[in-house]
Structure formats: C-alpha cells, structure tokens
C-alpha cells in the first residue's frame, strides 16, 4: 500500500516524511490552499525527495500549456488534478505534461460514485477524497472523512487511493474498511493548518503500515 504525505512545505518536514518512509510526497501549487508553495519552493523540495519518493504536483484546473511548463521545471512523477477537470481535460493534461495523472474525486454520497467510471479509463490513478463544503475556498477534504462504507459497492478490481480526514487515529480502520491501493494525508499530520508535525507523520506512517500488513495477512490466511 502506498503512503502519500501531501502539502509539505519545508525542507525539515520533507525530510521527516522521507525518513518515516513515505512513498509519495505532494506539493500544492494552488494559491488558495494554506499548504501552497511557490514554484521556487517546490523545486527545492522536489530536489530533496527525488529518488527517495515519487513527487506529486497538485494543481487545480490548469491548462495544458501551464502544466507542461511546470512539468519541465519541477519534473514531478505525477500530476494530481483537484479541480473540475473533465475526462477530456485529464487526457489532455497527461499528454501535454508527459506525466502520470491522478484525478481526485469528491465523495459525500452514493451518487458521487457514478463519476468514477468516467475517469477510471483516462486517469492513471483515482483518488477518492471527501467532498469539500459548498463554501470552501479550495478543494480537498478539509480534514473531514467521508462515509467509507459507501465504497463497499465499488468493483474490487478498482485500484484507488483514499484521502479525506485521515489521521494516525483512524487510518487503521480506514485501511481495513476500504482496502485502498494507497492512502493520502495532509491536515491529519499537522499541528495547525499548513504546518506539518514530524511526530504525527511518523505516527501516521507506522499506523498505516501496520494496518496494511494486517490486511495482507488476513487476505493470505
């Protein structure tokens, strides 16, 4: 199971995430987010992570030209699309940037699962996140989980990452209930909005690894 720590913004917390064993790190290139980093900061942070974890650039409703320019400077492994990108836009951004693309889909009710099929054949990976509040200034789960039981009806063959309100206390339950291919955390390892806590990162990664191992043992028993 892949573990992604998103919204890292300082060399110190990047080092902490890598030391804890994160498989993927996320850099938020969306100005409205409290976890936003400039391109200069992103390049510095990516340099620390390169070769140690996969680098994910989170963008919101960019066009292909902008994405291609960013990809050339930052050289991420993935683009994480967190806006209202259509399946056609997802395909276009993948082609323009030459990068793998992960599409985030907000989930709040069973009806929201219908969009998965539209993107599953276009995006390289699907990220299921909590749908943001209607008055939210930026996308994402805003530290709140959705009802994981909704995912029971998904095709077991669907490979997805889970996000939205995950933290060291609930990650074990989340993994056992949803059996994701990966988990993505941001605010759940923070001491304040946008401020990552190295101790919470270590605790979270350890709990996620323990849960994944337990699920694997149960599947092979």
The whole-number pLDDT of residue 141 equals: 47
HSE at residue 136, side-chain half, CA atoms within 13 A, is 16
Cα separations in angstroms, 193 against 33, 119, 196: 9, 30, 8
* pLDDT, tens digit, 9 for 90 and up, residues 53-97: 999 999 999 999 999 999 999 999 999 999 999 999 999 999 999
Asked if residues 116 and 158 have their Cβ atoms less than 8 Å apart, the reply is yes
pLDDT > 70 fraction of the chain, expressed in percent and rounded:
94
Angle at 12 between CA 139 and CA 195, to 5 degrees: 35
Q: Residue 219 is inside which H or E element, if any?
A: helix 198-220
* pLDDT, tens digit, 9 for 90 and up, residues 166-209: 999 999 999 999 999 999 999 999 999 999 999 999 999 999 99
Superfamily of domain 2-220: Aldolase class I (3.20.20.70)
Query: Does 139 score more than 90 pLDDT?
Result: no
Angle at 132 between CA 36 and CA 197, to 5 degrees: 45
* pLDDT, tens digit, 9 for 90 and up, residues 9-67: 999 999 999 999 999 999 999 999 999 999 999 999 999 999 999 999 999 999 999 99
Q: Which residue in 206, 188, 204, 208 sits closest to 196, CA to CA?
A: 188
């Amino acid at each position: 199971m892949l573990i992604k720590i998103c919204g890292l913004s300082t060399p110190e917390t990047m080092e902490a995430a890598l030391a804890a064993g994160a498989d993927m790190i996320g850099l938020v290139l969306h100005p409205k987010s409290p976890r936003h980093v400039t391109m200069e900061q992103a390049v510095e942070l990516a340099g620390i992570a390169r070769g140690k974890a996969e680098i994910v650039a989170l963008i919101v409703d960019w066009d292909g030209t902008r994405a291609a320019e960013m990809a050339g400077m930052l050289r991420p492994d993935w683009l994480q699309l967190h806006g209202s990108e259509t399946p056609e836009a997802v395909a276009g951004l993948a082609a323009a940037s030459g990068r793998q693309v992960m599409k985030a889909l907000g989930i709040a009710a069973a009806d929201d699962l219908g969009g998965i099929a539209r993107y599953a054949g276009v995006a390289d990976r699907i990220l299921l996140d909590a749908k943001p509040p209607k008055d939210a200034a930026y996308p994402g789960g805003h530290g709140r989980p959705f009802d994981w039981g909704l995912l029971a009806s998904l095709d077991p063959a669907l490979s997805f990452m889970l996000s939205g309100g995950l933290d060291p206390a609930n990650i074990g339950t989340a993994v056992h209930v949803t059996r994701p291919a990966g988990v993505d955390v941001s605010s759940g390892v923070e001491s304040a909005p946008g401020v990552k806590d190295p101790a919470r990162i270590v605790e979270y990664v350890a709990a996620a690894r323990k849960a994944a191992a337990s699920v694997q043992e149960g599947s092979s028993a």
